[in-house]
């Protein structure tokens, strides 16, 4: 797989470079203000290196899940403004993805300029299953540039036009973010320093089943929190009250617990409430004695202590998924405590993107405490599962 440095060594001055970036940032639903610009900041090393080398940079990205047609609420306008602030230059936004306006603006770029295309998912072909449909969009995107750089690690597990098909049409390299993500994930999968501890949270066991199956033989401990822990507790024969439960996964969890040989560590206490709300009354109960009329919404303080004790000795840690509903203040303590434990690891600590990365920022934790904060939750998990990621496979061609 060729790197950005390989491309820069060849020279890019005066050349148009199409960069697929991951700028899928969260927006405030009412003001459309960016609430976490982490992914934009993660794209800067590649974009700035290209600008410094005199490239004419065309950036493609997606935002949210529009239905394959222009939708103002998913416009990349706020992203263009913030990207310009961070780069210290004006970043115009094309009125379309790869149409007349994009072609005109790309053709008028000067050395060091940056143009952002409108949301690639405004084109239904971007996510089409049909190769020909994606290919037609990829042809138009490829016509905007001379070379392609994929720096959107958060999208490399998607066989989309701007991720997969464009790379088949242009000389291509991996951007700095993709290279960094791959380096870190390789360290997690190939002879990680031990003890190796994985912390998994989130709502559903079914979402993490494949990665649990893949990681169990490789890890020393697997700490399970979040909504998914209740299905494991049910598999141990405990009642979980009104907590989230995937009844169809109980037998699977029972099998995993039997096969794990003690590697899986579950919560010992749970923060419960009678309802989901910022003003709900809470109480801490033993994990094996959740009242029938309550629901678990966070792990309790004893569990934080237990998980932290497991993390203290770790040399390699991967964390994906919050311990509770951290978006609401009463249910933040579990995620905060475990996140601080991950950050204190004397070794490689990796935050596996998605809600975990969001929690670090929402809770105001020091990002520098972590060895790496991934931009791609789904991509990271699929890589750890051992699956081939289309966006990486095509770069290796």
Do the beta carbons of residue 295 and residue 331 sit within 8 Å?
A: no
Q: Which of 15, 39, 140, 263 is catalytic?
A: 39
Q: Is 158 known as a binding-site position?
A: yes
Q: Is 275 known as a binding-site position?
A: no
Q: Is 14 known as a binding-site position?
A: no
Do β-strands 269-273 and 282-286 pair in parallel, antiparallel, or remain unpaired?
antiparallel
Do the beta carbons of residue 233 and residue 266 sit within 8 Å?
A: yes
Q: Is 62 known as a binding-site position?
A: yes
Q: Which of 41, 103, 187, 204 is catalytic?
A: 204
Give CA 320 to chain center in angstroms: 9
Q: Is 3 known as a binding-site position?
A: no
Q: Could you tell me which of 134, 136, 191, 140 has the C-alpha nearest to residue 163?
A: 134
Tell whether the torsion through CA atoms of 352, 26, 71 and 117 is positive or negative.
negative
Q: Which of 175, 334, 341, 378 is catalytic?
A: 378
Q: Is 320 known as a binding-site position?
A: no
Q: Which of 354, 376, 377, 391 is catalytic?
A: 354
Q: Is 294 known as a binding-site position?
A: no
Residue 263 annotated in active site: no
Q: Is 261 known as a binding-site position?
A: no
Locate 319 and state its tokens: 């964390």
- What are the residues facing 319 on neighbouring strands? 199, 351
Residue 300 annotated in active site: no
Q: Is 215 known as a binding-site position?
A: no
Locate 164 and state its tokens: 């997969």
Q: Classify 285 as helix, strand or coil.
A: strand
Q: Is 296 known as a binding-site position?
A: yes
Residue 204 annotated in active site: yes
Q: Is 169 known as a binding-site position?
A: no
Residue 378 annotated in active site: yes
Instruction: Go through 49-86 and write b for each residue having 16 or more CB atoms within 10 A of its CB, e for each that does not.
Output: bbbebebbbbbbbbbeebeeeeeeebbbebbbebbbeb
Residue numbers in the known binding site for ATP are 208, 296, 327, 353-356
Residue numbers in the known binding site for (2R)-3-phosphoglycerate are 39, 121, 158
Q: Which residues are identified as catalytic? A: 39, 204, 354, 378
Residue numbers in the known binding site are 22-24, 39, 62-65, 121, 158, 208, 296, 327, 353-356
Residue numbers in the known binding site for substrate are 22-24, 39, 62-65, 121, 158
């Amino acid at each position: 797989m060729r790197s950005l440095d390989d491309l820069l060594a060849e020279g890019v001055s005066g050349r148009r470079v199409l960069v697929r970036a991951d700028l899928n940032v969260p927006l405030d639903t009412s003001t459309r203000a960016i609430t976490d610009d982490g992914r934009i900041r993660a794209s800067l090393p590649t974009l700035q290196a290209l600008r410094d080398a005199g490239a004419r940079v065309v950036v493609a990205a997606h935002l949210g899940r529009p239905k394959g047609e222009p939708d103002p609420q998913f416009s990349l306008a706020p992203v263009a403004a913030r990207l310009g602030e961070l780069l210290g230059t004006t970043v115009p936004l094309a009125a379309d993805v790869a149409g007349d306006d994009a072609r005109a603006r790309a053709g008028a770029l000067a050395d060091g300029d940056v143009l952002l295309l409108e949301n690639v998912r405004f084109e239904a072909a971007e996510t089409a299953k049909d190769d020909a449909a994606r290919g037609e969009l990829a042809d138009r995107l490829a016509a905007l540039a001379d070379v392609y750089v994929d720096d959107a690690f958060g999208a490399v597990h998607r066989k989309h036009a701007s991720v997969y098909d464009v790379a088949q049409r242009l000389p291509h390299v991996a951007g700095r973010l993709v290279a960094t993500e791959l380096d870190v994930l390789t360290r997690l999968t190939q002879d990680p320093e031990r003890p190796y501890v994985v912390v998994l949270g989130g709502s559903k066991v079914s979402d993490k089943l494949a990665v649990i199956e893949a990681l169990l033989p490789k890890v020393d401990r697997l700490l399970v929190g979040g909504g998914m822990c209740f299905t494991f507790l049910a598999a141990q024969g405990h009642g979980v009250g009104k907590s989230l439960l995937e009844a169809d996964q109980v037998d699977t969890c029972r099998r995993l617990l039997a096969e794990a040989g003690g590697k899986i560590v579950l919560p010992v206490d749970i923060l419960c409430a009678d309802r989901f709300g910022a003003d709900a009354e809470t109480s801490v109960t033993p994990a094996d004695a959740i009242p029938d009329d309550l629901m678990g919404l966070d792990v309790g303080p004893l569990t934080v202590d237990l998980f932290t004790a497991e993390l203290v000795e770790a040399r390699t840690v991967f964390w994906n998924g919050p311990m509770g509903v951290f978006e609401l203040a009463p249910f933040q303590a579990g995620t905060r405590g475990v996140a601080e434990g991950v950050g204190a690891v004397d070794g490689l600590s990796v935050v596996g993107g998605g809600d975990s990365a969001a929690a670090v920022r929402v809770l105001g934790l020091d990002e520098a405490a972590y060895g790496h904060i991934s931009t791609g939750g789904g991509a990271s998990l699929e890589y750890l599962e051992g699956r081939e990621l289309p966006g990486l496979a095509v770069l290796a061609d």
